[in-house]
Every structure is written in structure tokens, then in C-alpha cells.
């Protein structure tokens, strides 16, 4: 993409946020911190056609943020020979490692995690004094990963976006990259699961399509390449949107296929700021009546909110990349957002829950 195209995309971004439709009362998406909501997230897993050594790894909610995400107790029942809570040493992603005895005829486990969550909204016009990132955390959230490099074409693209927008501060850079991702990507319904998140491959091919793990990884990679700490947050939608956006909430208690990756960027004066350009594109594609224009009031409202806010109807698992499954000989996972299992050393397809045989449900917890 040449400089003129970058300038055009940035100008369009500014125009969209100023459209008259943004103020229309029939398109409201405005998360604000308020009451906490709790759910019991239940994962039921069984291994189909049991054979040989069998083990599983179930992601657990391990993001603990006092202002918006509070994991509670996790319990489990089943017929495993060994069950252990383990953590990824680099990112702290927690998972349940389950091992069955060889020859177990019906390997199964049920895991219940209680989580409290609420909306987030950062007033980017009023900087405060949040705790600064440690040097170790800053390095971690600026470095490249297997799927999200920060050099080569990623750095070149980031530099062009920042230059075209005339962005100087980290806030300006973060916003310019957000608007560029919204303008230049597309959600592709046929993408399996949440996508792969291979940022360099997307940019080299010029095909900036995919789902949340693709589009938000692109944001994270471009932000890191611009010197702004950023991270993906992997999780799952668990309840409907209180603003009536069908595309941005769980459609039922069955959340087996409701996984969603969000993003955060760390800005001086604000701390970790929620960002989700992928959900803007999801609104465009899926929000009734579907295939909405970028200047549709529903899209404009979501676009305005999703740089600095997100709705607390989603459980965060972790922020981990390049995850090694303990006890497995398979290559590292790009991210851990789905249950994983092995049967006779074969890693099962986590994107085929009906054959794999796992299901997730979310049960709201009422006060008292």
C-alpha cells in the first residue's frame, strides 16, 4: 500500500467517527463500569474412540484484574488418573492438565470455573497515574512471537501507518493503528475457529481477512512494531450484549463456539486500554440485517466505543502466545483458547468439538 492510500484510509477513519449517524439514539453501544456479573463456566470434555495414552488441557480463567475480571473457584469431577493445575511459565496462562490411565474406556471430565466480570471504559481525555509497566512486562509486550513478528513487513507497515497519520504520542499511534485495522481488514465467515493470527503472512499476501485472532493479532503486532506495548487477550463470550448487539454476545447458554480474542494496548497515563477492531468488523458482517456499511450507525457506535472500552459479557482466559502443552510432544500452540486433547499421541482437532466431544456452557450466577 502506498502513502496516498494510507493517507486516504486515515482520512476515512476520521470522517466515519464524525458522521451524523453516530449520535442517533437507535445505535447505542456504550460500556461503562458498573455492576459485576458472575457466571459458572462449565467445560465438559470426553475423548472419542479412546486409545493408548490420553490427556487433555483445558484453559482456565487466569486474568485477574481488580477493575474488570475476577476469577473465582474452579472445581472438577471425572475419571482421570491425574488432574493438575499448571501455568505457562512465561505468561502465567493457567490450564487444567488431565491424564487418564491407558485403556480407560470412557475418559471424561467436567470443569466448572466461577468468574465475575464487568464493563470497562477508559476516559482517554483524562490521564491519571496508573502503575507503570515493569521493564520485564514492557519487554514481554513489545517482543515478537512465532505468529506476531515485529520486524520486516510488520515494522514497515506500522511505520507507514504512523507516518501517514502524523502520530507522535503512543496514544496517537495506538489510535491510528486501530483506525487503519478497522478500515483495511475484513471479517471472513468461512475462517475456521477464530483464525490463526499469522500477521506477517497476512501482510505479505495482502489478504487482511480472517476472524478475531487474525485481526486483533494484526493490531497487536503493528502496535508493538510502533514501540507501544500491546497484547492479545484470549477468552470466550458468555452472556448476551446488554446493548442488543447480537453479534457481540453469547446467543445461548451453549458457548462451545463463542471463543473471542480481544486486545489491549498499554498507554502512559491510562494503563492497559481495551481495544477491539475485530469486533467492529464483526458488527459489519453479522449484526442484523448483516453486511452493514462502515457508516451504519450501529458500526459507528461500536467503532467509537471499542477503542477504550469493551463490554463485560466475556471471560478472559489468558494473554499467552507460543504455548507449550505440558507433557505433549506436539509443537507449541499459537494461543490457548480452546480445550486440547491427545489420543494415542494424536492431537485432536480442537475446532471440531462434536467429534472431539467437548461442550462449554455458561450459567449466570444470581446474587444470594
The CATH number that applies at residue 179 is 3.10.620.30
Mean pLDDT of 327-333: 95
Shared domain for 112 and 139, answered yes or no, is: no
In a domain, 368, yes or no: no
313: Cβ contacts below 8 Å, ≥ 6 apart: 37, 117, 237, 238, 239, 240, 241, 242, 248, 249, 250
* Residue 334 forms part of a structural domain: yes
- Hey, CA dihedral for 146, 71, 316, 44, is it positive or negative? positive
Query: 47 and 186 share a domain?
Result: no
Residue 1's pLDDT is 44
For residue 316, being part of any structural domain is answered with: no
Same domain, 148 and 267: yes
As a whole number, mean pLDDT of residues 98-114 equals: 96
| pLDDT tops 80 at residue 311 | yes
Q: Is 126 inside any structural domain?
A: yes
Pairing of strands 69-78, 108-117: antiparallel
Give me the domain span that covers residue 334: 38-116+323-362
The label of the residue with cell 467492529 reads 280
pLDDT band at 128 (very low <50, low <70, confident <90, very high): very high
Domain match, 63 and 188 both: no
3-state secondary structure of 264: strand
Could you tell me how many residues make up the chain? Answer: 368
Please give the grid coordinates belonging to residue 153.
513487513
Mean pLDDT of 277-290: 98
Comparison of pLDDT for 70 and 17, the residue scoring more: 70
Picking from 115, 360, 119, 365, the residue whose alpha carbon sits closest to that of residue 242 is 119
Query: Structurally, how many domains does the chain consist of?
Result: 2
In a domain, 367, yes or no: no
Residue 318 located in a structural domain:
no
Note the pLDDT of residue 215: 98
pLDDT interval class at 27 (50, 70, 90)? confident
User: Do 98 and 163 have their domain in common?
Assistant: no
Report d(CA 141, CA 88) in Å as an integer: 16
Domain-embedded: residue 160: yes
pLDDT band at 366 (very low <50, low <70, confident <90, very high): confident
SS3 307: strand
Residues 177 and 288 in one domain: yes
pLDDT of residue 20: 34
Mean of the per-residue pLDDT values of the chain = 93
Query: Averaged over 271-299, what is the pLDDT?
Result: 98
Shared-domain flag, residues 230 and 351? no
Domain with 349 in it: what CATH number?
A: 2.60.40
Q: How far apart are CA 241 and CA 195, in angstroms?
A: 23
80-94 per-position pLDDT tens digit: 999 999 999 999 999
Could you tell me the pLDDT band of residue 345, with boundaries at 50, 70 and 90? Answer: confident
Q: Between 201 and 27, where is the model more confident?
A: 201
Q: Are residues 306 and 166 in the same domain?
A: yes
Q: For helices 170-184 and 212-225, give the axis angle rounded to 10 degrees.
A: 150
- Residue 230 sits in the same domain as residue 131: yes
Kindly report, residue by residue over 202-234, the tens digit of the pLDDT: 999 999 999 999 999 999 999 999 999 999 999
In the predicted structure, residue 239 carries a pLDDT above the cut 60 = yes
At residue 21, does pLDDT exceed 80?
no
- Helix ranges (DSSP H) in the chain: 3-17, 135-140, 152-165, 170-184, 199-205, 212-225, 277-286, 297-305, 353-356
DSSP output for 81-132: SEEEEEE-TTT--EEEEEEEPTT-SS-EEEEEEEEEE--EE--TTS---PPP
Residue 317: inside a domain: no
pLDDT at position 25 over 90 = no
- 112 lies in the same domain as 129: no
Do 190 and 272 lie in one domain? The reply is yes
In whole angstroms, what is the distance from residue 259 CA to residue 270 CA?
A: 27
pLDDT beyond 90 at 16: no
* Percent of residues, the chain, with pLDDT higher than 90: 90
Binning pLDDT at 50, 70 and 90, where does residue 3 land? very low
Q: In what order do the strands lie in the sheet with 358-365?
A: 69-78, 108-117, 37-46, 358-365
| CA–CA dist 13, 299 (Å, integer) | 12
Same domain, 163 and 182: yes
Amino acid at each position: 500500500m502506498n502513502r496516498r492510500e494510507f493517507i486516504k484510509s486515515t482520512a476515512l477513519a476520521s470522517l466515519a467517527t464524525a458522521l451524523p449517524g453516530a449520535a442517533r439514539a437507535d445505535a447505542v453501544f456504550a460500556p461503562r463500569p458498573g455492576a459485576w456479573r458472575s457466571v459458572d463456566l462449565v467445560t465438559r470434555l470426553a475423548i472419542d474412540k479412546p486409545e493408548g495414552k490420553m490427556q487433555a488441557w483445558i484453559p482456565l480463567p487466569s486474568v485477574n484484574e481488580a477493575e474488570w475480571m475476577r476469577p473465582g473457584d474452579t472445581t472438577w469431577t471425572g475419571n482421570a488418573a491425574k488432574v493438575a493445575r499448571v501455568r505457562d511459565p512465561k505468561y502465567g496462562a493457567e490450564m487444567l492438565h488431565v491424564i487418564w490411565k491407558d485403556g480407560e474406556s470412557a475418559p471424561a471430565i467436567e470443569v466448572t470455573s466461577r468468574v465475575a466480570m464487568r464493563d470497562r471504559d477508559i476516559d482517554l481525555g483524562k490521564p491519571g497515574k496508573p502503575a507503570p509497566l515493569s521493564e520485564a512486562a514492557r519487554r514481554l509486550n513489545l517482543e515478537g512471537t512465532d505468529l506476531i513478528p515485529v520486524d520486516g513487513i510488520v515494522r514497515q507497515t506500522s511505520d507507514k501507518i504512523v507516518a501517514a497519520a502524523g502520530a507522535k504520542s503512543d496514544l496517537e499511534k495506538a489510535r491510528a493503528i486501530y483506525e487503519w485495522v478497522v478500515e483495511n481488514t475484513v471479517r471472513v465467515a468461512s475462517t475456521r475457529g477464530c483464525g490463526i493470527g499469522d500477521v506477517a503472512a497476512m501482510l505479505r499476501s495482502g489478504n487482511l481477512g480472517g476472524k478475531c485472532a487474525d485481526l486483533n493479532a494484526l493490531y497487536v503486532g503493528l502496535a508493538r512494531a510502533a514501540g507501544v506495548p500491546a497484547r492479545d487477550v484470549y477468552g470466550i463470550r458468555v452472556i448476551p450484549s446488554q446493548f442488543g448487539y447480537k453479534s457481540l454476545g453469547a446467543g445461548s447458554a451453549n458457548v462451545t463456539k463463542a471463543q473471542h480474542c480481544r486486545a489491549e494496548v498499554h498507554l502512559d497515563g491510562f494503563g492497559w486500554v481495551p481495544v477491539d477492531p475485530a469486533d467492529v468488523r464483526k458488527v459489519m458482517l453479522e449484526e442484523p440485517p448483516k453486511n452493514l456499511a462502515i457508516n451504519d450507525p450501529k458500526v459507528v457506535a461500536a467503532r467509537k466505543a471499542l477503542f477504550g472500552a469493551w463490554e463485560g459479557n466475556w471471560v478472559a482466559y489468558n494473554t499467552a502466545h507460543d504455548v507449550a502443552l505440558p507433557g505433549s510432544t506436539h509443537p507449541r500452540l499459537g494461543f490457548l483458547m480452546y480445550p486440547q486433547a491427545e489420543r494415542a499421541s494424536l492431537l485432536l482437532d480442537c475446532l471440531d468439538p462434536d467429534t472431539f466431544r467437548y461442550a462449554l456452557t455458561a450459567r449466570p450466577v444470581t446474587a444470594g
